[in-house]
Structure 1
Amino acid sequence: MFTGLIEEIGTVLKLEQFSSRPDAVITVKAETVSQDARPGDSIAVSGVCLTVVELLPDGSFTADVMPETIERSTLSGFVAGTQVNLERAMRADARLGGHIVQGHVDAVATLARRIPGTRWDDLYFTVDPALTRYIAEKGSISIDGTSLTVTEVTREGFGVSIIPTTSEATTIGALAPGDRVNIEVDVLAKYVERALSARVDGLLDEAQDHYQPKHLKAEGAIR
């Protein structure tokens, strides 16, 4: 579990993909998050929760990347030198300064436009319309692992505004129109939808059973 507050910008040293199998191994250079890391720890790499496999003497770490992650995120496009946002898993006794981020990427979005402001930038992203039902104005969203507040929602996408601190401390500051990012919507929205859907399905089943003709009920009981 993460908060969406980026601790540092790391650098991809290598992404090793195999011709004989669909997974990969990534090596990331990190000065801060690797200091107290141990094999088995979770680190969010641009919003993707990865498990540390090995810590190297130069302060980098390696992690396995599953096919599902490669298919659903921007990670497959990482090359040596790619800058990534890094965050260690949150501590139970720490402040939750951002929002609950699982590190489970829902989809990839594309930056459509960036409008510079006096002390902030307005960014608008396009995303699969099926995902916008989970996005709410003034709600939270994770963009490349960064917790941000949604400023607008349309059928095709959503907007956010970033302050200078966010621009300087994360890779979002360097984004240009056409760039792709990892998106994770607020997990609470997905659980609410799932609960309501299950409730509706249950009510429909009850209604169907209630109005089923008696002779059909009897036949069903005999069978």
Structure 2
Amino acid sequence: MKGAFSVTEKKIAIAIDGPAAAGKSTVAKKVAEKLHYVYIDTGAMYRSLTYKVLQDNIDMKDENAVLNLLKKTNILLDQHFDVYVNNEKITAEIRTSDVTDHVSLIASYPSVREEMVTRQQKLATDRGVVMDGRDIGTRVLPDAEVKVFLIASVEERAKRRHEENVTKHLPSNFEQIKLDIEKRDRMDTERTASPLKKADDAIEIDTTSLSIEDVVNKILSLVQEVE
């Protein structure tokens, strides 16, 4: 494989989709670093809003209330992969189990997704971005030059999430994580607004038996093929 793009070469958009714990964020960060691109974690944007809903005691079953909160909330993702809401750094806080348990509901609201998609598309206007999520190739960046859909078995995804929690010294129960991932998959694929779905022109990569570097190199190879 040829070396990664230099910063002077043509900038493109790379969309990486897939279910929870398929390795999207880790892979996307590394691809962005190799290409000197901007990494946009759309999942962190929904988590940030969920965190704010919980902090402000907003009725999360009230779509309008959640949307109104979003419109008053500034979400910033910086080049160091830190996340800020209204200038408050919440990188770690959005990864708590409380946020994880409620983010699918918040992300299911059509009006909320519409607002988020508008923000995400603006971030990608100048290209040179790697964006990961669940509807990037189908809804946010349907014209992305490279689209990838990462998959992995539920068992493997639960194992990864469990090991990540252990490494971070967070409480973790492997069997519960499996159940949570299966529930998240159902919610993401069955929601009405922008469900988790592989774009027709996306390349599917099963990461179950691949290392992070293997997946990154596969995506970089796809990037090199773009004319």
Range of TM-score over shorter length: under 0.3
| TM-score, normalization by structure 2 | 0.24
More strand by share: 1
Question: Which structure has the greater CA radius of gyration?
Answer: 1
More helix by share: 2
| TM-score, normalization by structure 1 | 0.24
